[in-house]
Amino acid sequence: MEFISFVYFLNLFFSLFLYSDVSGVELLMNNHQSLKAEIDARGDNFSACIALGKELLSRGHYATNEVINQH
């Protein structure tokens, strides 16, 4: 969750400060591509984490109701 929060923060930061000119947009696009590459490289980890979460929910993990209510 920390990584996702960090990505959202970076996206907000760069979108607020770099859209003013062409070079800013290019820098924003490069940062976006870098973040996308990082996420794509960890795709298997995300998939494994999602599968584990679904398995825990299907087994009736003690926090199942909390997770369902947050979704």
Distance CA 31, CA 12 (A): 12
Q: How confident is the model at residue 16 (pLDDT cuts 50, 70, 90)?
A: low
Domain boundaries in the chain? Answer: 2-70
17-49 tens-digit pLDDT: 656 677 777 877 888 898 889 888 888 888 899
Q: How confident is the model at residue 52 (pLDDT cuts 50, 70, 90)?
A: very high
Burial class (CB in 10 A: 0-12, 13-18, 19+), 32: middle
